[in-house]
A and B are shown apart, each in its own frame.
Chain A
Amino acid sequence: MTRGRLLSERLLPGRSLLARVLSLHALGIAACALLTLGSANALLQYRTRTITRNMLLEQSAGIIGGISAAPDGHLSIDYAQTPLAQRVSGVFVFAVLNGDGDILLRSADPAASRLVHLNRIAHVRFLTLSRSQPVLSTIIRPFRLGAHVYWLAVGWNLSAPGVVFDNILRNFLWYSAAVALLVLLAVLAIDLVIMRGVLAPLSHLAELVRRSASATGDDDRDRRLQTEALPSEVVPLAAAYNDALDRVEAAYQLQRAFAADAAHELRTPLAVLRARLEMLPPDAARRVLLDDVSVMTRIVAQLLEIASLEQLVVDASASADPVAACNAVIEALAPMAIAGGRDLGFAGGPPSPVRLRIRDQELFQVVRNLVENAINHTGPGTTIDVSVEDDGAIVVRDDGPGIPEQWRKKVFERFWRKDRRDRSGAGLGLAIVQRIVLSHGGRIELDSAEGEGARFRVRLPAATQPHAAPV
């Protein structure tokens, strides 16, 4: 098995199915052509030999019939009795030998002298003399004349001008080989066309898979391959792909739901814990523990947000008012800012209304996380200004300690905090902001100088329907 595969790998280095089919087919056709040529050649050889032998037997019989012995033992030949030999004179040579190998009679052709080397044995023997030119196909046979035994050797000069059939047949073999080669090439060309046609559904399938893999729709049924139009042989492949997709999707859903479920499940126990702590007598320990619960609460809330970001909907027709979002966030966070001694306010909006291509809730999340970040990472007495520029860019600026150069990229990473002991959150707020902004085709800029505060500027594309009814 392994050796077979290795062999085929060695024979077929290409990974293209088409190349594989073509080369295998070429190999098969070449083998068939060789087999055909070989057997034709063998058949031809056999037929030629039979014809040659019959011819030689006939000739020798004719010659023997024309030989007569004088009473003194002298042999003579009467050509009139040997019509065949005469007719093909120059093609056939002969010699009559006695037991000692002496030539008693011979044809005039010099090639006849080569016949003396044939072994004289008791029965008919055929032999081809090919050591020197011309090539002779020979027969040597004993015959009895009177009381003596003689041997007649007949040679057939195959190179003689009259003997053409053999050459024609041999050439025919070569012609056949050339024709076979042409047929092979034609078959390969046809193969190419056939295989292209057969493989077309596969490339179509590949295209479907490629499109499915890059599909960005939220509806995962979009990603499934439509099997109706596919050939029945390819359907199992597409079905297997769909199955795999389903399983990946199910696992992904499970994992996605897990984060959200876990966060949900944590909330009620946290509420219980908080209520219990609130009923303790007010002392330092209670305050610290309540702070801890607040931190956990915030982390759980951010985990939920991250989980919901996984199913973030980017709605191309969404439209949100950045000024309204900033006001809503400030209203929501003002009590927290005041409790922490920060001065939070709205520092101005554009002269004419602007609408951004994002849903209200996501825009609210963006601004809230930016403001929460400013509240959490500055000290009491800090001023935090939220504003909307004329083009709709949202700016959250504080005059706190600022963000050193080396941290400016890191602040957007998930779970990054400048100090692991900082317990104000999970380090997810700005990561969430960035994720929402980028997925809506916007960008976020951070300017900061140490000791001079930080300024986050969020730019989002304008809404495509600028006068959509506010939600």
Chain B
Amino acid sequence: MRLLLVEDNAELAVLLTTQLQGASFSVDHAGTLGDADALLLSRDYVAVILDLGLPDGNGLDLLRRLRAARRPLPVLVLTARGSVSERVQGLDLGADDYLAKPFAFEELKARLTALLRRPGALLGQSLSLADVALDTVSRETRIGGQSLNLPQRETQLLELLLRRADRVVPKSIVEDQLFGADDELGSNAVEVYVHRLRKRLEQHGASVAIHTIRGVGYLITATEGAG
């Protein structure tokens, strides 16, 4: 999986490249907008990590060009400016995610993985977190290599959570995705499925935990000790 890293700070670029390679990505580095444009023309990338403050312009211009050319390439924006309005501007221009410097590499990796886990994206077919893996095509769930027979709705719920691992999935999205418009919905229908899924995962000793964020949604994380 080849990433394009657009970052003008040479030290940070080297460090990030090393870390990303450690996480089994291939990385090309561009220090300027010009280099980035050239690389984007010559190779295919699965995602772009884009710094905004570049010596020959603003990274948002590159983003604008990519979106104008209708290239669906996921873009994760990195910036030293963390203000909310810039974040909004970046997302409006079609950035897929936004991370303010400095950041924990784990955070970058998680965001990147989440981008690649989106339906249709590179990792969209096989989702995994710690020892839990879900094949979105065969609908098979495995825990530590062992197949787990999960009912359809629990599998759907797990997929939703895994696509946004470490981030909150709003309850409204879960309701929309899990139930059709015709389904009679009890007020705690979602909670019932979450409870069942949680129980199944626990029974099989999975190193993940599904947290309930009261009134907001759900969140799956790897439990401590699991990578």
Contact = CB atoms under 8 A, between A and B. Distances in A.
A278 B102 contact: no
Which of A264, A268, A301, A348 lies at the interface centre, i.e. has the most chain B CB atoms within 10 A of its CB?
A268
Interface stretch (B115-123, B198-206, B211-219): B211-219
Contacts of A364: 84
B9 interface: yes
Given A271-B103, A272-B12, A278-B104, A361 B219 contact: no
A44 interface: no
A361 B82 contact: no
Nearest to A349: B215
Given A330-B168, A331-B170, A361-B88, A264 B81 contact: yes
A279 B214 contact: no
Contacts of B211: 334, 338
Contacts of A279: 15, 18-19
A135 interface: no
Given A271-B103, A334-B216, A361 B170 contact: no
A268 B168 contact: no
Contacts, number: 100
Given A334-B219, A335-B167, A345-B216, A271 B19 contact: no
B88 A293 contact: no
A346 B18 CA distance: 40
A104 B178 CA distance: 157
A371 to B, nearest CB: 12
Given A273-B102, A278-B19, A327 B216 contact: yes
A301 B83 CA distance: 9
Contacts of B101: 267-268, 270-271
A345 to B, nearest CB: 3
B207 interface: no
A365 interface: yes
A270 B102 contact: yes
A430 B105 CA distance: 29
Contacts of B104: 274, 278, 290
B219 to A, nearest CB: 6
A268 B166 contact: no
A348 B84 CA distance: 25
B221 interface: yes
Contacts of A276: 15
A265 B221 CA distance: 33
A334 B210 CA distance: 12
A17 interface: no
Given A270-B101, A338-B219, A275 B15 contact: yes
Interface size class of A (residues with CB under 8 A): 35 or more
A330 B100 contact: no
Contact of A264 (B80, B166, B216): B80
Contacts of B9: 268, 271-272
Interface in B1-34: 9, 11-12, 15-16, 18-19
A268 B88 CA distance: 21
Contacts of B214: 343-347, 385
Contact of B85 (A264, A271, A278, A361): A361
A36 to B, nearest CB: 78
A242 interface: no
A338 B217 CA distance: 13
A304 interface: yes
A212 interface: no
A275 B215 contact: no
Contact of A275 (B12, B84, B100, B212): B12
A104 B219 CA distance: 149
Interface in B122-158: none
Contacts of B82: 267, 301, 304
A82 interface: no
B12 A331 contact: no
A275 B17 CA distance: 10
Interface in A357-410: 360-361, 364-365, 385
Contact of B215 (A268, A272, A347): A347
10 smallest A-B Cβ distances: which pairs?
A345-B214, A346-B215, A271-B102, A275-B15, A361-B84, A270-B102, A267-B80, A331-B168, A271-B101, A267-B101
Interface of A: 264-265, 267-268, 270-276, 278-279, 290, 293, 297, 301, 304, 308, 327, 330-331, 334-335, 338-339, 343-348, 360-361, 364-365, 385
9 contacts: A272-B9, A275-B16, A279-B18, A293-B102, A334-B211, A335-B167, A338-B221, A345-B215, A347-B215
Given A265-B80, A275-B12, A338-B221, 19 more contacts: A267-B101, A270-B101, A270-B102, A271-B103, A274-B103, A278-B19, A279-B18, A301-B100, A308-B83, A327-B216, A334-B168, A334-B219, A335-B168, A338-B211, A343-B214, A345-B212, A360-B84, A361-B83, A361-B85
